[in-house]
Homo-oligomer: A and B are copies of this chain.
Amino acid sequence: MSDHNSPTSKLGTAAAVDVAYSPLSTRLSRYYRLNADDIATLEALPHKQLAFGAKTPIVSRGDVVDQLMLLISGWVVRCRYTRSGSRQIIHILLPGDIVTPDVFVLRRSDHEISTLSEANVRLISPRAVQDAFQKSARIAAAFWWAAALEDAVAREQILRLGRRSAIERVPHLFLELHRRLLLVHQATEENFLLPITQLDIADALGLSSVHVSRTLRKLVHEKLIHYDGTLIGIPSVEALASFCDFDTRYFHLDSTIDEAITWS
């Protein structure tokens, strides 16, 4: 947090640290302070870990999914295609996200899951996870919490696609990614690495890559963001948020699982 002149190396370091403890723990701890036992249980779950190259499919539409997958590092997307072949990115998964949250109820995937950047994915048997749920209701709650948060992000995506212009969509997505990366210590207050292409951004935002390029140029020219191809800089998060009507409430940062868990 000391040297603002080399954000890239700083981000790299942060990522390396988090791989030791899975970023899932990092993220869940942000909301609910899982105790040491919970975290130990989570981290000790028997698993394999797979490394994928960039732009590699992990799960295809119709595939049987029988492993719980956690994203350890890298960026992954859920996507769907129209008959004519154009791609829509449904959701961008970041380190700490659950890749296959519905493994407990759906046998086959209705969408494709593939990497954008290189990525590491941890595979755990659903059976083992459910055993962990038995051991600790907090762990179970944390998983449902994560699923509920993905739903909230999906709702924001729908609003963004349905009712925002291109010049709003692009920075709105950036602010969302920035906030989510902050939660897993993969961003500084002002910067984050964007390991994806403008075509990926276009497919996430329902735009053409040509128009994403133009929009980015415009945002840079207006000094609302910095962008050098891999690093996004946000000189003023407040100014940008105001510009694109970004509102963090959908992350539910002000509440914790404690409140909800009292039901059980």
Q: B-contacting residues of A (Cβ < 8 Å)?
A: 61-62, 78, 80, 82-84, 86-88, 90-91, 102, 104-108, 110-111, 126-127, 130, 141, 144-145, 147-148, 151-152, 154-159, 161-164, 203, 205-206, 245, 249-250, 252, 255, 257, 259-260, 263-264
CB A234 to nearest CB in B, in angstroms, measures: 19
Q: Can you show 18 pairs from A to B with CB atoms below 8 A apart?
A: A61-B249, A78-B155, A80-B155, A82-B245, A88-B158, A90-B155, A91-B155, A91-B158, A102-B148, A104-B264, A106-B252, A107-B255, A107-B259, A108-B255, A110-B250, A158-B158, A158-B161, A161-B161
Contact of A151 (CB < 8 Å), options: B84, B154, B249, B263:
B154
Q: Contact at A144–B105, with CB atoms within 8 Å?
A: yes
Q: Which of A82, A84, A110, A257 has the most CB of B within 10 A?
A: A110
Q: In whole angstroms, what is the CA distance A147 to B156 when docked?
A: 18
Number of copies: 2
Closest to A130 in B: B264
A110 near B163: Cβ-Cβ < 8 Å: no
Q: Are A252 and B108 in contact (CB under 8 A)?
A: yes
